């Protein structure tokens, strides 16, 4: 019997990418249009909720990575270089 969990990472990736695209769309709306105050506040509120959703997804991935590192003795956690550090 094949485990059903294999589709979950793909689903999480799609959900994260969709969430990030929505956040980018809201940012663009707020930066590049003559949005009224009420519409801007609604967009900002949606953006805050989407950022929280994305952060939860990323936190979950971080916990899974740390768990995998702990399970594989000898592998230690290392910070990845930032894009600006190249």
Whether 63 is covered by a domain: the verdict is yes
Instruction: Return the residue matching tokens 């230690």.
Output: 76
Q: What confidence score (pLDDT) does residue 39 get?
A: 93
Domain around 55: 36-69
pLDDT of residue 78: 65
- Per-residue model confidence as pLDDT tens digits over 6-30: 546 667 778 899 999 999 999 999 9
Residue 31 is assigned to a structural domain of this protein: no
Closest CA to 9 of 80, 56, 60, 68: 60
In a domain, 44, yes or no: yes
* Domain count across the chain: 1
Crossing angle for the helix pair 7-32 and 37-71, to the nearest 10 degrees: 150
Average pLDDT along the chain: 82
Q: Does residue 9 sit within a domain?
A: no
| Residue 42 lies inside a defined structural domain of this protein | yes
């Amino acid at each position: 019997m094949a485990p059903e969990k294999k589709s979950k990472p793909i689903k999480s990736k799609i959900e994260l990418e969709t969430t990030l695209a929505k956040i980018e769309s809201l940012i663009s709306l707020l930066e590049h249009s003559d949005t009224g105050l009420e519409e801007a506040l609604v967009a900002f509120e949606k953006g805050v909720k989407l950022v929280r959703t994305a952060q939860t997804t990323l936190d979950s991935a971080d916990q899974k990575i740390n768990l995998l590192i702990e399970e594989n003795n000898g592998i230690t956690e290392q910070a990845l270089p930032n894009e600006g550090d190249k």
